[in-house]
A and B are shown apart, each in its own frame.
Chain A
Amino acid sequence: MAALVVAEHDNTQLKGGTANAVTAASQMGGEVHVLVAGSGAKAAADAAAKLAGVTKVLHVDASHYAGGLAENFAALVVGMAKDYSHIVASASAFGKGFMPRVAALLDVAQVSEISAVESSDTFVRPIYAGSAFATIQSSDAVKVVTVRSTGFEAAKATGSAPVESAAAGPDKQQSKVISQELTKSARPELAGARRVVSGGRGLASGENFKMLESLADKLGAAIGASRAAVDSGYVPNDYQVGQTGKIVAPELYIAVGISGAIQHLAGMKDSKVIVAINKDPEAPIFQVADYGLVGDLFQVVPELTSKL
């Protein structure tokens, strides 16, 4: 049997950890097929065909896959499921949206956000904001699994699988996208960035985040934030790192004015090198930091930026 990875894409490129999900799927034991459903997404299907480990790409072209609507994606995937032992997708907002629907329609459990594959039916996943890791075995005929990107390398573009077109599923017409307001930034995408500079309540205003932007630009880093910074309106929602935000594991994570609540640590403690800048020597963030600097961020950050 084979695993079907449901791709996330913007019509031309794969996104949201799809290449990492392919790597996870490759560890589940069988062939790996990728489903690219969209409207005019042939280029994305071709990109999927290049991923190492992929043996076939199924390309579905229909206008009702344009918005990534969960109702339509679930219906499509369920129609294909009989040929697969595993249905896999990244635990992105897109994957989290439609995958549980797939599982419920197949009357199987979903294993959410796995960080490791032990065998074809056994997976490891964090629970309680990463305070514990559970090893979970599924006895269902089809395993529906979402993948935490930081647990798996992205599959490299070294393959060449055939692309076949496949039939569309129904247009459920239960929901429609009215508009999207995407955060525009020239900086790298937070979830996959090699370096991340994050700010917390200590920044005290959105205006002060400019300071972090200068630092991030020097480093070629993405910008992240704690929940407190987002809730206070300093930065947009999609900057939030943590249990209920984005999970990141860059080579370098610099936490500025962030106390280090467990919910924040859940999203960044797998980073390779963690730097913490905080004026409170007792702040819990120092317990996970490789390098801690006690000081006033308003002095430290400009100085750091100038010394880089």
Chain B
Amino acid sequence: MKILVPVKRVVDFNVKVRVKADQSGVELANVKMSMNPFCEIAIEEALRLREAGKATEVIAVSAGPAACQETLRTALAMGADRAILVETDVELQPLAVAKLLKAVVAKESPGLVILGKQAIDDDANQTGQMLAALLDWPQAVFASKVEIGAGVATVMREIDGGMETVEVTMPAIVTADLRLNTPRYATLPNIMKAKKKPLEVLKPADLGVDVTARLKILKVVEPGKRKAGVMVKDVAELVDKLKNEAKVI
């Protein structure tokens, strides 16, 4: 069984994001970019399934500009076998990504696609579910444990009130939540080896997909600032402020 893992290149989670003065978006020039953290977890899970003999090949795929090759090299350095870049400079929205991924699935016939639950830039939390719908596959999203059985996957997932275990028929879509695993670091020798692993580059047109954006971003602004607070010297003052000033207790 092949496992396909879509990985997104995003602004590193440690970067303090700034809005552009013209309100057209956030500042991306000279900002550190990394693999979306949930995608690292997705790669790690795929690697563990391969190491456990449940999968034969792990293929990382990314859609976006040429710079996504770096993200794919990171996936290869972690241990993915090969990579596919669907290269485009068009700003991709989740529906377009899902359509591109559907076409890649048609080419590769994986038994499982593991995505991140959410990209930390757009915070959309859509792509995996959309891909599942386009393929008419079942989904197990927000996974914190994945077990592969005969023709089925049993997935424990995080829900609002606690945990839920679902069984899905394969092929299936899984999206990774934070507690699924702790991703490995790429070691230096593996980073070197990754440079020689195959990385195929395709264009949306090769896949017959129209990636035109459906949503128009009218403006992007900074969030409202909270008014400055005060420091209190002790518990007594805190209780007094909460009672008599804020009137919340």
Q: Which A residues are within 8 Å of any B CB, using their own CB?
A: 16, 69-71, 74, 92-94, 96-105, 107-113, 122, 126-140, 172, 174-183, 191, 195, 219, 227, 230-231, 236-238, 243-244, 246, 251-252, 262-263, 269, 272-275, 286, 288-295, 300, 303-304, 307-308
Contacts and interface: CB of A to CB of B under 8 A. Distances in A.
Contacts of B246: 252, 273, 290-291
A288 B117 CA distance: 28
Given A180-B162, A293-B231, A137 B218 contact: yes
B159 A292 contact: no
B139 A128 contact: no
B130 interface: yes
* Interface-centre pick from A99, A111, A175, A289 (highest chain B CB count, 10 A): A175
B124 interface: yes
Interface of B: 11, 13, 16-17, 19, 26, 38, 93-95, 98, 117-118, 120-134, 137-142, 144, 154, 158-169, 177-179, 214-223, 226, 229-232, 234-236, 238-239, 241-242, 246, 248-249
Contacts of B239: 304, 307-308
Contact of A93 (B124, B126, B159, B165): B159
Main secondary structure of the interface of A (DSSP, over half): mixed
A186 B76 CA distance: 47
A199 B62 CA distance: 37
A307 B38 CA distance: 43
A227 B139 contact: no
A236 to B, nearest CB: 6
B16 A92 contact: no
- Ranked nearest first, the 8 interchain pairs of A and B with the lowest CB-CB distance are A174-B138, A100-B129, A104-B130, A101-B133, A100-B126, A109-B214, A104-B133, A290-B229
A197 B59 CA distance: 43
Contacts of A177: 164-166
Contacts of B167: 175-176, 178
A93 B142 contact: yes
* Interface-centre pick from B128, B140, B235 (highest chain A CB count, 10 A): B235
B240 to A, nearest CB: 10
B130 A103 contact: yes
Contacts of A100: 94, 125-130, 133
Contacts of B238: 275, 291, 293, 304
* Interface-centre pick from A96, A135, A138, A295 (highest chain B CB count, 10 A): A96
Nearest to A304: B235
B132 A101 contact: yes
Contacts of B95: 103-104, 107-110
Contacts of B223: 126, 130-133, 269
B248 A272 contact: yes
A308 B223 CA distance: 34
B32 to A, nearest CB: 14
Nearest to A191: B160
Contacts of A16: 160
B178 A231 contact: yes
B123 A128 contact: yes
A95 B144 CA distance: 19
